[in-house]
Structure 1
Amino acid sequence: MNLSSELRYGQSHDPFYTEYNRRKGHFSMAADHMHGHHELYYLFGGERFYFIKDRAYLVQAGDLVIVPGDEVHKTSDTGVPHHERVVLYYDERYFAMFDETEAELLRSPFRGTRRLLRLDAPERLRVEQLLYGMLREIQDRPPGSGLPIRHAAAELLLFAARRTLGAASESAEEASSPTAAKMTEVARHIAAHFRERLTLDELSGRFYLSPSYLSRTFKRCTGFGIAEYVGITRIKEAQRLLRETDLRITEVSEDSGFDNFSHFEKVFKTLARMTPRDYRAQFRRKR
C-alpha cells in the first residue's frame, strides 16, 4: 500500500500527535522550533542536518533523533534532495496515563544526554515495521485505529528508553562531519557567552573563518543565521529568568544580553508569540 506524501494524527494541543512527510527536492524548516512537546524524529530516507540546542548532527536514513521539550531545534538541507520522515510529539500530559515507574522510564530518553541513535539493521527493521503500521492506521482509519496508533507511540518511546539506558552521552554513533563539528563549536561558544557582544566579525576572527563562510556554513548546518541563534539563546535565558525570578523585565532584558529594551521585546514576541509580561503571567497563574 502506498502512503500519502503527508499524514497527520492529532493536533498540536493534544498530549500526543504525529506528522509524516515524504518530501521531494530540497527543504529546510522555515520556522524556529521551540515548544513544550518532546519529539522522536525518525528518518526513513534521505539525509538531514539536525541542530539541537547547541550541536549540529548529520542525520542519515535509519537514525532516530530525541528532542526534549523546549529545546531549540531545527532541521536543514545537506544538499541531498528528497527525504522521508515521521515526527512523534509527546507533552507532559501524555505520561499521566502510565503509573509512576512506567512514566519515568518513558520520559528517560528526553532527560538523558543522547540525542541521536544510529540503529543497526534489525533495529531499523523493527522500528520501521512499527511506524509504517502506525501510518497505515492513520491513513486508512479503520474502526479502532486509535488503539494501534497509541500503542505504536508508546512502543517507540519504550524502544528509545531501553536503547538509551546506560549509554554514554557521546559516542561514535553521534559523530558528525568536520564541518558540522566546527559549527557546533561556534554554537557552543555563543551559548556560553551570549551575554557578551557577539558579532559575525568577532566570531569569524575567533574561529579563523571568513565572515561569509561562517555565515553561510552556520546557516546550512544549523538552519539558523548567526544573529538569529544569538537572539534565540538570549530569549531562552530571558524565559528562564521570567519563570524563576522576580527581576524586573528591564533587568531580565539586560541580564539576557540585550542592550536595547525595545529590541528585546520585539525579539521575545517574535519567538515566544507573546510579550515578556504575558509570558511571566502564565507561570504566576500556575503557582
Structure 2
Amino acid sequence: MTMPSLPGKLLYGSISEPLWIEYDRRIGYHSMDNTHYHRAYELFYLYNGERNFFIGDSVYHVRAGDLVLIDSNVVHKTSELDKPNHERAVLHYDHAFFAGLIREETELLLAPFGADHPIVKLNLQEQMHVESLLASLLSELSESPPGYRLHIRNMAIELLLFTARHTQKRKQLPSVELTPVQRKVTDIIRHINQHFREPLHLDDLAKQFYISKGHLCRVFKEVTGFGFSQYINTTRIKEAEHLLRETDLSITQVSERCGFENFSHFGKVFKELSGLSPRAYRKLVQK
C-alpha cells in the first residue's frame, strides 16, 4: 500500500533527539552510501519494493509489509535488489524517549529489538493495522495541527506496543537457508567481529577462508553492502566510541585497543565516520 496523499519525503526530529522519524517514497535505485549505526532503536517498515538488509552479521531479504527491528548500536545497511523504487517509514527511538515510562513498560517495548530474528513478517490484517498507525502519525506530521507532537509520540508508542505483543505471540520463524556465498561471508564477518582488535589483512583472511582477494572483496560488498575495509573500520570505530564514552583510557590507548596500527590513521577514520575528532567526541559525550 502507498501513501499517495503525503509528500514524497517527511522528517521529524533529528538523530540527537528522543524520537527521529523519516518517511521516503524513493524512485529509482537507492542504497545507503554511509556506514550506519546509532544509539537509537530503529523500527523500519517497508510499504513497497524489496530491500537487501545487512544487520549485525547476517543478510535478510525484506519485502513489502515487513517490519525490521534494529537494536541499539548494531551495524546495518540497506541496498537494492533487482527492482527499483521503494517506500518506507523509519522511526528511531533514543534511550531518552523512554524516560517517562516505568521499567517494566520500557522492557516490554524494547524486548522485540533483542530477538534473534530482526524481521517481523505480518499478515495482511496486521499490515493494515501498522499502516493505519503510520498513516495517523504521518498525516499529523504533514499537517502539524495543534498538539501534533503529542499525537506523534502516542502513535510511536502504539507501534512499539503492537510489535511487542505481536512478537510475544508469534512462533519462532524457521531459519533462512543461506547460499554458500552468504555462509562464507557470514563466517568472515563473525571472524572480524571477534578479532577486530588484532591486525586484519585482506591477504591473510583470503588465505584463511580459501577465497581469492578479488572474489572476497566482490562478494563481501554484494552480500553486506559494505566494502571489506569499510566494515572493519566501522566495527573498530564503534568500539572506540564506546571506550571514549565509558572509560578513562587515553586516546592513544583507545586507538591501540581497537586495532589501529597508526594513530594518525585512527584520527582520520574516526572523524570520517563520527564527524568529530576523538578528542571532540569525548568532550561532547562526557559533558
Relative to 1, partners in 2 of residues 1:259 and 1:11: Cα closer, same or farther, differing over 3 Å?
Answer: closer
Q: Within the alignment, does 1:276 sit opposite 2:278 as a pair?
A: yes
Structure 1 residue 177 displacement after superposition? 4.5
Of 217, 232, 235, the residue aligned with 2:234 is: 232
Relative to 1, partners in 2 of residues 1:125 and 1:206: Cα closer, same or farther, differing over 3 Å?
Answer: farther
Q: Matched residues in 2 for 1:282 and 1:250: separation?
A: 18
1:202-251 Cα offsets, whole Å, 9 max, x none, are: 33333333333322222232221000111111122222333333333222
Q: Which runs of 5+ in 1 are unaligned?
A: none
Residue 215 of structure 1 aligns with an amino acid whose one-letter code is C
Matches within 5 A, 1:81-160: 81-160=84-163
Residue 237 of structure 2 aligns with an amino acid whose one-letter code is I
Return 8-17 or 21-30, whichever deviates more. 8-17
Q: Matched residues in 2 for 1:171 and 1:204: separation?
A: 33
Structure 1 residue 181 displacement after superposition? 4.1
Q: Matched residues in 1 for 2:49 and 2:97: separation?
A: 30
The answer for the alignment partner of 2:184 in structure 1 is 182
Paired residues in the alignment total: 283
Structure 1 residue 267 displacement after superposition? 1.0
Structure 1 residue 114 displacement after superposition? 3.6
Structure 1 residue 90 displacement after superposition? 1.0
Structure 1 residue 85 displacement after superposition? 0.7
The answer for the alignment partner of 1:215 in structure 2 is 217
1:76-126 Cα offsets, whole Å, 9 max, x none, are: 122321111110111111112323322222222234444221222222222
Alpha-carbon contact 1:51-1:75 (below 8 Å) kept: yes
The answer for the alignment partner of 2:60 in structure 1 is 57
Alpha-carbon contact 1:57-1:176 (below 8 Å) kept: no
Q: Within the alignment, does 1:248 sit opposite 2:237 as a pair?
A: no
Residue 26 of structure 1 aligns with an amino acid whose one-letter code is Y
Relative to 1, partners in 2 of residues 1:249 and 1:141: Cα closer, same or farther, differing over 3 Å?
Answer: closer
Residue 116 of structure 1 aligns with an amino acid whose one-letter code is I
What is the DSSP-based 3-state SS (H/G/I as helix, E as strand, rest coil) of the residue aligned with 2:99?
helix
Of 162, 166, 184, the residue aligned with 1:163 is: 166
| Alpha-carbon RMSD | 2.4
Q: Matched residues in 1 for 2:49 and 2:196: separation?
A: 34
1:7-57 Cα offsets, whole Å, 9 max, x none, are: 122333321121111111111111222222211001111111112222222
Q: Matched residues in 2 for 1:41 and 1:205: separation?
A: 38
TM-score, with structure 2 as normaliser? 0.88
